[in-house]
Amino acid sequence: MARLDFATATPFRMDECILVKPSYRVDDPESIYAILRRDHVAPLVESLASARIALCGLALATPRGLVRADGPSLAALGNRPRRERLLRGGARMAAVLALIGLLGLGATWAWRQEQALAALDREIARAEIEAAQVRADMHARAEEIVRIAAVRGAKSGALPLVRVLEELALTLPDGTWLNRVDVDESTVLLTGTSTTAAGLIPLLEASPVFGEATFTQPVLRTSGEAGERFTIALQAESADG
């Protein structure tokens, strides 16, 4: 009825105006309505929306007092019904909470990753220290093995002193006396006197144990002694060398 009155009684087009009707009351069935120009109302509604102010209600001043506009009229003014506002507000709040939850999960995951990486770095550092210690121990052990092998090799190549003395007793002729025998690995130094000092070198060279025999000092004859004083250096070799 209001639309029919509007079309017949006003010079405006329907799309230029907003028809505002009061909420229906059983005790007041008389029909009244107001006509608002859209170009006048739109700036006010937009200002309220920009300020985030919701238009919750509208009252019409009538001879009988203020009358509240109905829901469709508020919707025509660009205001969403309260239920829709609550639903949209709840949806926005849920989205915000979901975003906060995702950020919290992301932060927790990043913290756990950082903790795991820090623990891994500590394990790697500890392993590197242990590996360095193992390498040092292995190097020291290898050096010890080389040293022991060298000592064993030297001992195996050297002729025992007892064997040297036995061979000297068999090789040196009668009339020869030794005052000193020095053995340094394979080198033997003999000091003594002999009635046949000049003939000692060939005898020692003929021995299967001795070789490279030579006088290190001139042969001297000392008064009061039966023989000549000599000093001979030679090499002693093992039977398999």
CA distances from 144 to 138, 154, 155, 169 (A): 10, 15, 16, 39
Instruction: Please indicate, yes or no, whether residues 122 and 167 belong to a single structural domain of this protein.
Output: no
CA distances from 133 to 39, 125, 128, 129, 142 (A): 88, 12, 9, 6, 14
Q: Which of 80, 109, 144 is the last residue of a domain?
A: 80
Mind listing the pLDDT tens digit for each residue in 166-223?
888 888 888 888 888 888 878 889 998 888 888 899 999 998 888 898 999 888 887 7
Predicted local confidence at residue 241, as pLDDT: 46
Distance, CA of 221 to CA of 219 (rounded, Å): 7
Predicted local confidence at residue 233, as pLDDT: 92
| pLDDT grade for 113, boundaries at 50, 70 and 90 | confident
- CA 194, 200, 203, 206 dihedral sign is positive
Mind listing the pLDDT tens digit for each residue in 122-161?
889 888 898 888 778 866 875 775 566 455 545 555 567 7
Residue 181 sits in a domain of what CATH number? 3.30.1360.100
Please state the length of the chain: 241
Report the mean per-residue pLDDT for the chain.
75
Backbone phi and psi for residue 56, each to the nearest 5 degrees, phi listed first: -90, -20
Question: In which domain, by residue range, is 37 found?
Answer: 1-80
Instruction: Please state which of the ranges 41-50, 95-104, 226-235 shows the lowest mean pLDDT.
Output: 95-104
